[in-house]
Chains A and B, each alone.
Chain A
């Protein structure tokens, strides 16, 4: 039963416009004001009946007669005949994408282009048709056929088709037609239309797109005859294509580059066997394109599509809008099957690109021209729009048997920036309809990084600071994804973690000498650093100057016992020497410049002079090393404390000493 010939044209339209911005073009539907101004007529009417007829080119077109209820612009009255390509005639059927379709009794607002005597077409294809609907909250709306679902993700936000409040939009059109400029404030937030599935169920079968399995191969195609789509049976042998003698001015290779990009995208899909080959420029004998069967698969540029209500594409600088082109299956006959599913067999495909694209450099440069041709070529392979049903008259999501996507070359309003690259939906489509190869298995995910336990390569160093100063401790460690935590205390003591000290370095300002350590961790281990001690020493907080004094003996232990006299300093003991008020040293002197002599001690040893007061801790320092029975002197500048200094004798026997002063710092 499939031997009847089915001459089909799968058409599709892009509507592109650029916001007038200096930056990269943003794609939106041409605005309503421009559509209204360019329409030859605008009517509100109801479809009475329709019939199909043959064209002079032996094509099929459908004439729908509308009863006009109001003519807002132009001169139609009574009834108006709207003629669109495609339809059913005898045993032949044509189904169109991107071309408006009407149901008897449907009440619509139409923006029309005059295509002949009492012959009209909807301007810009589907963009000029609005049907009256009511949403679930009772609002009367005017909506286009384009899929439009609130809440869908991704680029729909840019390409979102908004719904219009019916009365407000019609009032706006009336005002525009009468030359009044009124604000376009008729858009409304969207509630689901009556009879539409809920948004929840839509998204449920919209995401995620998993395997092809639940969807039939036919589900990715346009309806051609009955419930069938069409497909080529030639692959893996080549299907040869020609470009028209009119090239695309300004486009790389006169358009050939974009053709090659489109073919490469479809041919190179790893899971299918499409083999489109570009054979160069036609000899001028194949000029019908989608308008008639001429025995060649052609891609024609700068074509006049006005008979279908499509005005020339407009492009000026970075601003452009309109319909780029139409592509589809020009002839299909006979039948074939793939994986048990029947298809009509495609025998000719054609693409016609609109007039006005010439020298639209921005479009050629940003990759969207390549995407547009890839989309058209996809229609010649039989594919439907990814976001519409197989008849292109309802949202894809209204049919649960269809895979739907808003990110695809085959989306009705093309996503910008794809530059001909097939998306997931496109890959599913071509692999379902043209199975032939097996994609190499995806490379195994990289093994999770092997965790290397932390290892400390440089320990934090102990350091000494004056009270009130800060010290920075640092650790270096090797290992995977390290984290750090510093602690107060000796290594291993986790009782006192330091807040926010979680890096390889920490800056601390201890009031007293304090120990620190750091624990370095990752998912497979920890390492504890050695203990680092920040020693705190007292020191001048302010600058001091040097004052000379006449050299003066402060203390001589050989004298009578007393504050500045004897006895000799016993082994391993200290004594305190007040210094304020002697030898001209004032109270508050910060340091003394002294010469210290040890007088013929009984053994070797050393003495340490250090700041007072009595009982202050003595550090591991020395001031003079003395030798048994020798007289030795050394000079020193020594900080005072509580206006005094301490002297410590390390030697095994008592030793006499003398301290002379020659100046002080204050």
Chain B
């Protein structure tokens, strides 16, 4: 009977930490749709939004200034696709330069050829404004942007 109690306690602590970190909010923002545009592809692109693929090290991509996302954008609507995963894992995506939030954006297992999820993510003010962290193993990530908020 003791073990379940312990795990509940751990979960509560983790939730409390997460809310403390993500207490900020901003807005309201208006939406500007874009023709869908691939903005990150670690398989084929070169440069900051290209290869290599993700390991368990954080990567920071440059969203503003590409695909018609203006430098004034505060958030983007994206579709995140994972491929070539080596193990079961998940990605956390968040505005660069802020502490890694305790969230997941897409979960996947190593059997998938490719898996996608839609998301709305905030952008930081820096040039490399979007952080992506893969939890386990390695994989490639593709991001298509379909619009932005500002």
**What residues make up the interface of A, taking CB atoms closer than 8 Å to B?**
461, 463-466, 469, 535, 537-540, 542-546, 590-591, 604, 606, 608-611, 619-625, 627, 632, 634-640, 665
Contact = CB atoms under 8 A, between A and B. Distances in A.
A543 B34 contact: no
Given A622-B81, A625-B115, A627-B112, A636 B31 contact: no
Given A619-B38, A639-B35, A539 B68 contact: yes
B35 A610 contact: yes
A544 B32 contact: yes
Contact of B147 (A591, A604, A624): A591
Given A591-B33, A604-B113, A634-B79, 11 more contacts: A466-B34, A538-B35, A539-B34, A539-B35, A544-B32, A611-B35, A621-B38, A623-B118, A623-B144, A634-B116, A636-B77
Given A637-B77, A637-B147, A463 B66 contact: yes
A639 B147 contact: yes
Contacts of B34: 466, 537-540, 639
Contacts of A537: 34-35, 37, 67-68
A619 B66 contact: no
B146 interface: yes
B38 A637 contact: no
Contacts of A619: 35-38
A625 B31 contact: no
B32 A543 contact: yes
Contact of A544 (B33, B36, B65): B33
B19 interface: no
B31 A591 contact: yes
14 contacts: A539-B33, A540-B32, A540-B147, A543-B32, A543-B150, A609-B36, A619-B37, A622-B79, A623-B116, A623-B144, A625-B83, A634-B118, A639-B35, A665-B33
Contacts of B83: 625
Contacts of B65: 463
Contacts of B37: 464, 535, 537, 619, 621
A635 B47 CA distance: 29
Given A469-B70, A637-B118, A623 B35 contact: no
A537 B146 CA distance: 11
A619 to B, nearest CB: 6
Contacts of A635: 117-118
Contact of B68 (A465, A640, A665): A465
B146 A591 contact: yes
B147 A634 contact: no
A537 B36 CA distance: 8
Contact of A638 (B115, B117, B146): B146
Interface string B135-150: 0000000101011001
B114 interface: yes
A539 B34 CA distance: 4
B66 A464 contact: yes
Interface string B60-80: 000001111010000001010
- What are the 4 A-B residue pairs with the smallest beta carbon separation, nearest first? A543-B30, A639-B33, A466-B68, A591-B33
Contacts of A637: 31, 33, 77, 118, 120, 146-147
A477 B35 CA distance: 34
Contact of A543 (B31, B36, B66, B81): B31
Nearest to A589: B33
Given A619-B36, A665-B33, A636 B81 contact: no
Contacts of A469: 68, 70
Given A461-B47, A464-B37, A539-B32, A625 B113 contact: yes
Nearest to A543: B30
Contacts of B79: 621-623, 634, 636
